[in-house]
Amino acid sequence: MAAPLRFDGRVVLVTGAGNGLGRAYALAFGERGASVVVNDLGGDIHGGGKTARAADVVVEEIRAKGGKAVANYDSVEDGDKLVQTALDNFGRIDVVVNNAGILRDKSFARISDQDWDIIHRVHLRGSFLVTRAAWPHMKKQNYGRIIMTTSAAGIYGNFGQANYSAAKLGLLGLSNTLSIEGQKNNISSNTIAPIAGSRLTETVMPPEWIKALKPEYVMPLVLFLCHESCPETGSLFEVGAGWMAKLRWERTLGATVRRKNIAMTPEDVRDNWEKITDFTQSSHPASNQESTANMMKVIQDIDSAAEAPVARRTQSAGMDPELAKAHDIPPESFTYTAREVILYALGVGMSTKEDEYLKFLFEGSEAFCTLPTFAVIPAQMAMQQALMQEIPGLKQDLVRVLHGEQYMEVYKPLPTDATLTSKLKIADILDKGSGAVVLYNVESFNEKGEKVAFNQFSIFVVGSGNFGGKRTSDAIIPTATVPTRAPDASITETTHVDQAALYRLSGDRNPLHIDPSFAALAGFDTPIIHGLCSFGYAVRHVLRRYANNDVTRFKAVKVRFAKPVLPGQSIQTDMWKEGNRIYFQCKVVETGNTALSGAYVDLTSSSDKPASVKAPSRLQSDSVFELMQEQIKSRPGLASKINAILVWVITKGGKPVSEWTIDMKTSKNGEVYRGQPKSGKAECTLTVSDENIMDLVTGKLAPPQAFMAGKLKVKGNIMLAQKLGVLFNEQAKL
Ligand code: NAI
């Protein structure tokens, strides 16, 4: 059995722990090794009176069992004093269970100001004050566990409890935001809606319920949520009688009732009411971002709907570049260790399969180093913080932003652990008509104050253009045009199906990259890989091909994000070397789409020597067959279906340049490899150029057409060639 959940060394504050639920929590924490602050004012259930006895009795109970506890008799309205008791007696504060509570039940019309205020003061304000006092200590120690106590009366409403319901649901909102703000410091915050027999419920519950619904049946959930091993945060649970369940929001698919260039009316709402309120199909937004993520698609759908155009309005989007540029944004620091460095390397596709990558993945390696593109992580953290603030002159709806381009420059190799301080500035805002481009410059400094990296994020804000601004700016670091000749080198790599799931752990937790329902809301069929993840792949390819993976030779990179890559797809980085500048672009092999364009890496010095381990593939067809190899492996029944040996001859400029065998006969599960058949004889030989094979695979060129046009030559049993369609169709689908 797994080890019991212990709280040794942890300091726990439970408010209102003299009775009912709070008492059950305090006793259990004490039994499991925590040092407990038992807070209780000792009043009556309506908030009157005061006695030390309530807390003292529980402290005695804990101590009698050998536990550690001290009493605190202050009201939760004196939050500081409660936390001070923890610090004075035990030197720290790890867990706050906001539990103290009273009732002033009255039907709504009879609620006095006092009835309203005292309920809000004890429940909502009290929990705020206690938690606020503990917060800086939790942040500093990078650890904290918080519980808020709401009620079914708040979630669902209850007759006679308007004051209580309002305060109780306020606690859920408070916890939800604390869970977000606390995330980077390992502070979790969860909310429970308990049900238990106590003096608070004895007036409303029958006696047999009071006896049966023991507070001890709520306690285990609270303890689990407060344990260091529990990652849950920002969640809401109903709990009682030994049963517990998590709650979430459900939303109908809704209806877009506005039409292009037509005034929107209340009648439009009435006429769509059934659809607006129909839960037969629904979604479950779990964050503010998810809740508003579909807005961009709604706007685009309306804008692109066919409708007689009317004179375009010039709108002021609230953008004022000069004001935004002048605004001073506080710096943001980011501390990382080998763990973050390794997690990032895995996130951008490094694998221990390649010996040469060990130095990025193992802190014990003598050459352990940080990939230069890791410098986007602290910069992005600074961006995320800045975007949460109001920046004068910058009006942007976060669900309508697209990451357009990225420039990054590194001035010295990044350490493998450090605290970097990033300073963000709005470099400019451009008016592109259909939207605005906001240029964010982020400089990152090390502990000595030396500049280690510079990033420029170019963010397109849909619908925020037409504010009368300029279309271009000197502040932009431009993209490049890649040479027109065939690439000097290419590297193709298949991403993992969990690539985005892994990459997001480095900081960009946008659910677009993991949650299918969120991706659907944003208009994608499946979650997509982060642009900055593909960016990491590409730079890695360049460093491998032209710098022997030597991070000290990396200077700068610029890319434009053209199309997304899906997890599991293959990235082909085509590279052109011109001096120390390596131009590149990335294609998605399965679709032929360009994912990264206009891109280059500047190196301090470059070498033509291919990376020591595997020679990179130079033909497009190489990736097609490599992919086929993978697919055959994952579909063991396929060989017997095809039951033939075929050979592909690939030409370039009319000359054969490579050969591939697809043996679906002599090898049990099928095999794809370079060259002529190792055993047996080709029953069918197909000849095609390296250019045309891509069109065949992606379905742009139908095989009969190719055959008729002389682009595909077939020798031997032509019927067998048709069977291969299965494999090609699979690739086209990807
Ligand atoms: P309880 O009355 O048994 O315990 C609450 C404790 O809080 C009392 O010992 C009281 O002296 C203390 N307290 C009241 N005001 C305080 C203040 N200003 N400062 C410090 N201590 C104060 O109540 P119970 O049932 O254990 O409730 C605990 C929490 O659970 C409350 O927040 C309540 O609203 C909530 N809750 C309870 C439900 C139930 O079925 N028992 C249902 C839904 C919510």
Q: Is the pLDDT of residue 608 over 70?
A: no
Domain around 512? 317-603
Looking at residue 370, its pLDDT comes to: 97
Task: Determine what percent of the chain is predicted with pLDDT higher than 90.
Answer: 63
The model's confidence at residue 293, banded by pLDDT at 50, 70 and 90, is confident
113: exposed, middle or buried (C-beta count within 10 Å: 0-12, 13-18, 19+)?
Answer: exposed
Q: What is the CATH number of the domain that holds 35?
A: 3.40.50.720
Token pair of 716, please?
Answer: 């031997």
Residue 615: inside a domain, yes or no?
Answer: no
The Cα–Cα gap between 491 and 586 comes to 10
Residues 260 and 367 occupy one common structural domain: no
Residues 594 and 710 occupy one common structural domain: no
Q: How far is the CA of 16 from the centre of ligand 1 (A)?
A: 6
Active site residue 156: no
Of 540, 575, 603, at which residue does a domain stop?
A: 603
**Which residue's CA is the closest to the ligand 1 atom numbered 17?**
75
Residues 272 and 341 occupy one common structural domain: no
Give the tens place of pLDDT for each residue, 55-79. Answer: 999 999 999 999 999 999 999 999 9
Residues 473 and 563 occupy one common structural domain: yes
Q: Is the pLDDT of residue 336 over 80?
A: yes
The model's confidence at residue 281, banded by pLDDT at 50, 70 and 90, is confident
Residue 59: inside a domain, yes or no?
Answer: yes
Residues 260 and 243 occupy one common structural domain: no
Q: How far is the CA of 464 from the centre of ligand 1 (A)?
A: 49
Of 203, 227, 247, at which residue does a domain stop?
A: 247
The H or E element containing residue 176 is helix 162-182
Residue 564: inside a domain, yes or no?
Answer: yes
Q: Which among 40, 51, 174, 201 is the best mutation to test ligand 1's pocket, defined by most ligand atoms within 8 Å of the CB?
A: 40
What is the number of domains present in the chain?
A: 4
Residue 614: inside a domain, yes or no?
Answer: no
Q: Three-state SS across 281-310? A: CEECCCCHHHHHCCHHHHHHHHHHCCCCCC
Cα separation of the two ends of the chain: 43
Residue 237: inside a domain, yes or no?
Answer: yes
The model's confidence at residue 308, banded by pLDDT at 50, 70 and 90, is very low
Residues 125 and 65 occupy one common structural domain: yes
Active-site choice (143, 164, 344, 357): 164
Q: Is the pLDDT of residue 27 over 60?
A: yes
Q: Is the pLDDT of residue 135 over 90?
A: yes
Rounded to an integer, the average pLDDT of 353-373 is: 92
Token pair of 137, please?
Answer: 């200590």
Q: What is the CATH number of the domain that holds 285?
A: 1.10.287.4290
Residue 103: inside a domain, yes or no?
Answer: yes
Rounded to an integer, the average pLDDT of 146-156 is: 97
Q: Is the pLDDT of residue 612 over 50?
A: no
Tell me which residue of 593, 594, 656 sits closest to 621, measured CA to CA.
656
From the CB of 20, is ligand 1 less than 6 Å away? yes
Q: Is 221 left (phi over 0), alpha (psi -120 to 50) or beta?
A: alpha
**Which residue's CA is the closest to the ligand 1 atom numbered 11?**
42
Q: Is the pLDDT of residue 616 over 60?
A: no
Residues 205 and 125 occupy one common structural domain: yes
Residues 121 and 75 occupy one common structural domain: yes
CA atoms within 13 A on the CB side of 584: 35
Between β-strands 594-603 and 35-39, what pairing exists: parallel, antiparallel or unpaired?
unpaired
Rounded to an integer, the average pLDDT of 519-534 is: 88
Q: What is the CATH number of the domain that holds 643?
A: 3.30.1050.10
Q: Is the pLDDT of residue 93 over 90?
A: yes
Residues 223 and 322 occupy one common structural domain: no
Q: Which among 15, 19, 158, 237 is the best mutation to test ligand 1's pocket, defined by most ligand atoms within 8 Å of the CB?
A: 19
Q: What is the CATH number of the domain that holds 488?
A: 3.10.129.10
From the CB of 463, is ligand 1 less than 6 Å away? no
Residues 270 and 404 occupy one common structural domain: no
**Beta partners for residue 244, in sequence order:** 239
Residue 231: inside a domain, yes or no?
Answer: yes
Residue 311: inside a domain, yes or no?
Answer: no
Mean pLDDT (the chain, rounded): 89
Looking at residue 726, its pLDDT comes to: 59
Residues 585 and 693 occupy one common structural domain: no
The model's confidence at residue 733, banded by pLDDT at 50, 70 and 90, is very low
Token pair of 547, please?
Answer: 């710098």
Residues 488 and 387 occupy one common structural domain: yes
Task: Determine what percent of the chain is predicted with pLDDT higher than 70.
Answer: 94
The model's confidence at residue 606, banded by pLDDT at 50, 70 and 90, is low
The model's confidence at residue 343, banded by pLDDT at 50, 70 and 90, is very high
